[in-house]
């Protein structure tokens, strides 16, 4: 309020009451099921199939989901979420790392991806640049996935629970933490020393200061020690290899950086010149320098692992140097003394000897031979979708209809229809839409009719069923064609139709082409289609010129016998779009004074949103009065509603329903008698 204190002109701004309602997304797909790798049970956004490959390992023969995601993006999809359901009895790779110099665990690491993928994760520890410097309870962590090349770094972590950089909170945070592993500081490790830094650390006693040239070669001996796969012993592909760091006549280094750079260059040049590269398989040796209150130090380790696996365990090898028996000695020249000796990094799930800094590990295992999750686990993941805010519009679960390996006509997940029922309920709650794939035994028109009429245990206008499967390429077996559930491709058609025409256009017809599809697994005639369409089963057809298209636009409740007002997919999805847009766009009204001023604002904003849709052709009707209405006044909100804290908005629209049957009437013109 203005405070009137002096004679003069006072100005103020009056809000217009117009708050623009932005339309919500309509074609964000959610895929639920097993993948080759990826974080278990956590929704991950992907905006291309390349994103999916980076996050979930790409195509897998045991994952229908992976192919469906490829079909989704190939048919016009632009954004999707994926929830990985781990395979039954699969295990995650783990490692428990001891406190530096102690027998008590400091951190426990668990791969977020169950299965073999977790065995490809490496971790590095150091204390370079931590604050306060020299505090053994502080550490830096690097996490490396050598398959994808992903590297994560977390600096200045602490084992102190009260610290703002407490390792548990930073690394394991679902939003900003690691996408590769979970870290936990056990009770015994709280407020205790962090893990020993990885790599071998040497203290530099004499700081380089330049001054003339070397009058003799300066040498050292290099040893690389590699653990055997079962940690039962070690191998030394490089054993006391003589390395000349400086030649006679070379200028003396003037800085520590110059010294360390020359050291790394000399070591790697020597290894390259050895037969078979010194059996190092092309893996280089890294040398870095750092300083802390204790002095200046040099760390040696092997380079980080690349995408190609090594035959030996070179990624967690131990690199050491020593002086030769005779000649000018490198370590002696610069008063270099060993501080700690350790592996270059730790590999989750790998075995280490009892004398190492690793107290226990568990290798990641794939579990079920078919790569499929437990059926009850599958259902639980779907039920858990009720909790978060809506983040998807289309739900696909192609692995739910996977055939049993012992009987190609039987379901592997016998509770598939129950899970679909739960999913339909979630979609109704979230204003989303479920796409149901045909079961393995639904391979004929008669079987399809029996499936839709007798085996559907739920009714829903928030879902649609499709038949038959589609025939597509299998990139994992070049030249072969496989029959695959259509939900991913259909979801892509939904997205493409929404983008080109709007959510009120049926995702069916000759415009609803399925790209990269050879055709339906069963070619249906018009008469056969005429059996399935009236019972609300959408058929995928193939026509000359047009190719393979989605040729049905009915919901599961779209049977003629039900006479549902939500018979058609575009009507249901348009309503979902309006409801979700208004729900998100009117949140500002919560806790506002419940009176005519609020009602007027709500009418204005809702009318503006609905009129925008009317102008885009979303509704039936020539005038706005015919197309929609918005009511919010004393007739919709009674005094009792006000006492209960309720404001009622009634929105109506005249939906555009698809023209399923185009009737052409032809007659002859009878010429009059002359």
Instruction: Express each pLDDT in 594-618 by its tens digit.
Output: 999 999 999 999 999 999 999 999 9
| pLDDT in the model for residue 134 | 85
Ordered by start, the domain boundaries in the chain are 29-88+370-572, 94-189, 200-344, 596-674
**Among 594, 589, 575, 580, residue whose Cα is nearest residue 637:** 594
Q: Please check the confidence at residue 404 and state whether its pLDDT lies above 90.
A: yes
Report, as an integer, the average pLDDT of 501-506: 97
Q: What is the mean pLDDT of the chain?
A: 95
Q: Please check the confidence at residue 674 and state whether its pLDDT lies above 80.
A: no
Long-range (24+ apart) CB contacts under 8 A made by 41-45 are 41/83, 41/84, 41/85, 41/86, 41/381, 41/384, 42/83, 42/84, 42/112, 42/174, 43/81, 43/82, 43/83, 43/388, 43/391, 44/81, 44/82, 44/83, 44/84, 45/79, 45/80, 45/81
| pLDDT in the model for residue 92 | 96
At 347-398, the pLDDT tens digits run 999 999 998 999 999 999 999 999 999 999 999 999 999 988 888 999 999 9
* Domain range 29-88+370-572, CATH architecture: 3-Layer(aba) Sandwich (3.40)
| pLDDT in the model for residue 148 | 87
Chain position carrying tokens 């050895």: 274
At 184-200, the pLDDT tens digits run 999 999 999 999 999 99
Long-range (24+ apart) CB contacts under 8 A made by 607-612 are 608/18, 608/20, 608/21, 609/21, 609/23, 609/581, 609/582, 609/585, 610/578, 610/651, 610/653
CATH of 94-189, one of 2.60.40, 3.40.50, 2.70.40, 2.60.310: 2.60.40
Confidence of residue 62 (pLDDT cuts 50, 70, 90): very high
Q: Please check the confidence at residue 527 and state whether its pLDDT lies above 80.
A: yes
Strand pairing of 181-184 and 105-111? antiparallel
At 433-452, the pLDDT tens digits run 999 999 999 999 999 999 99
| pLDDT in the model for residue 285 | 97
Q: Specify the range with the lowest mean pLDDT, choosing from 77-86, 387-396, 425-434.
A: 387-396
Q: Please check the confidence at residue 217 and state whether its pLDDT lies above 80.
A: yes
Strand pairing of 328-329 and 218-227? parallel
Confidence of residue 307 (pLDDT cuts 50, 70, 90): confident
Would you state the structure tokens that stand for residue 318, as one six-digit string? 């131990």
Query: What's 455's DSSP letter?
Result: I
Q: What is the CA radius of gyration of the chain?
A: 34
At 636-673, the pLDDT tens digits run 999 999 999 999 999 999 999 998 888 888 988 888 87
Q: Please check the confidence at residue 251 and state whether its pLDDT lies above 80.
A: yes
Q: Please check the confidence at residue 3 and state whether its pLDDT lies above 90.
A: no
Q: How many helices (H) and strands (E) does the chain have?
A: 14, 31
Measured between alpha carbons, how far is 206 from 260 in angstroms, rounded to an integer? 13
Report, as an integer, the average pLDDT of 117-135: 93
| pLDDT in the model for residue 15 | 79
Report, as an integer, the average pLDDT of 124-150: 93
């Amino acid at each position: 309020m203005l405070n009137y204190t002096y004679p003069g002109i006072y100005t103020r701004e009056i809000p217009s009451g117009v708050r623009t309602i932005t339309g919500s997304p309509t074609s964000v797909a959610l895929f639920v099921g097993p993948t080759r790798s990826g974080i278990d049970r956590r929704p991950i956004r992907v905006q291309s199939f390349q994103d999916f490959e980076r996050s979930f390992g790409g195509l897998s023969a045991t994952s229908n989901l992976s192919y469906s995601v490829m079909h989704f993006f190939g048919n016009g999809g632009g954004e999707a979420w994926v929830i990985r359901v781990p395979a039954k009895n699969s295990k995650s790779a783990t490692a428990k790392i001891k406190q530096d110099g102690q027998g008590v665990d400091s951190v426990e690491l668990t791969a977020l991806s169950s299965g073999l993928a977790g065995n490809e994760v490496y971790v590095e520890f150091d204390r370079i640049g931590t604050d306060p410097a020299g505090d053994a309870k502080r550490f830096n962590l690097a996490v490396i996935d050598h398959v994808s090349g992903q590297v994560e770094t977390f600096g200045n972590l602490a084992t102190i629970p009260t610290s703002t950089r407490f390792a548990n909170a930073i690394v394991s945070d679902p939003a900003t933490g690691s996408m590769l592993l979970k870290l936990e500081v056990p009770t015994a490790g709280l407020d205790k020393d962090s893990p020993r830094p990885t790599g071998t650390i040497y203290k530099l006693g004499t700081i380089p200061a330049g001054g003339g040239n070397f009058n003799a070669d300066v040498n050292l001996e290099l040893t690389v020690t590699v653990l055997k796969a079962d940690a039962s012993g070690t191998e030394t592909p490089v054993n006391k290899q003589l390395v000349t760091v400086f030649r006679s006549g070379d200028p003396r280094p003037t800085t520590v950086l110059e010294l360390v750079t020359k050291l790394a260059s000399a070591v790697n040049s020597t290894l390259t010149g050895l037969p078979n590269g010194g059996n190092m398989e092309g893996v280089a040796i890294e040398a870095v320098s750092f300083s802390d209150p204790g002095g200046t130090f040099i760390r040696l380790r092997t380079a980080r692992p690349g995408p190609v696996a090594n035959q030996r365990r070179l990624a967690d090898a131990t690199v050491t140097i020593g002086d030769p028996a005779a000649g000018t000695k490198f370590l002696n020249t610069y008063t270099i003394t060993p501080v700690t000796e350790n592996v270059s990094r730790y590999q989750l799930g790998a075995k280490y000897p009892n004398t190492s800094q690793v107290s226990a590990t568990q290798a990641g295992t794939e579990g079920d031979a078919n790569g499929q999750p437990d059926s009850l686990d599958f259902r639980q993941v779907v039920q858990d979708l009720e909790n978060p805010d809506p983040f998807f519009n289309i739900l696909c679960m192609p692995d739910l209809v996977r055939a049993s390996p012992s009987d190609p006509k039987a379901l592997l997940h016998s509770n598939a229809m129950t899970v679909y029922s739960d999913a339909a309920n979630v979609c109704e709650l979230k204003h989303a839409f479920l796409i149901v794939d045909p079961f393995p035994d639904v391979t004929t028109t008669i079987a399809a009719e029996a499936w839709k009429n007798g085996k559907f245990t739920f009714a829903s206008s928030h879902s649609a069923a499709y038949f038959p499967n589609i025939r597509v390429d299998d990139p994992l077996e070049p030249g072969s064609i496989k029959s695959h559930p259509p939900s991913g491709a259909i979801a892509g058609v939904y997205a493409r139709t929404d983008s080109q025409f709007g959510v009120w256009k049926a995702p069916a017809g000759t415009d609803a082409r399925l790209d990269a599809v050879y055709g339906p697994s069963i070619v249906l005639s018009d008469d056969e289609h005429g059996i399935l369409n009236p019972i609300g089963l959408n058929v995928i057809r193939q026509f000359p010129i047009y190719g393979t298209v989605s040729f049905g636009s009915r919901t599961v409740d779209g049977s003629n016998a039900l006479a549902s007002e939500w018979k058609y997919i575009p009507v249901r999805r348009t309503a979902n779009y309006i409801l979700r847009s208004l729900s998100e766009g009117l949140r500002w009204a919560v806790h506002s004074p419940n009176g005519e001023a609020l009602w007027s604002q709500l009418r204005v904003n809702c009318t503006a949103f609905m009129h925008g849709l009317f102008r885009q052709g979303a509704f039936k009707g020539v005038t706005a009065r015919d197309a929609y209405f918005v009511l919010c006044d004393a007739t919709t909100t009674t005094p009792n509603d006000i006492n209960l804290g309720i404001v009622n908005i009634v929105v109506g629209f005249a939906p555009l329903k698809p023209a399923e049957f185009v009737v052409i009437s032809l007659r002859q013109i009878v010429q009059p008698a002359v």
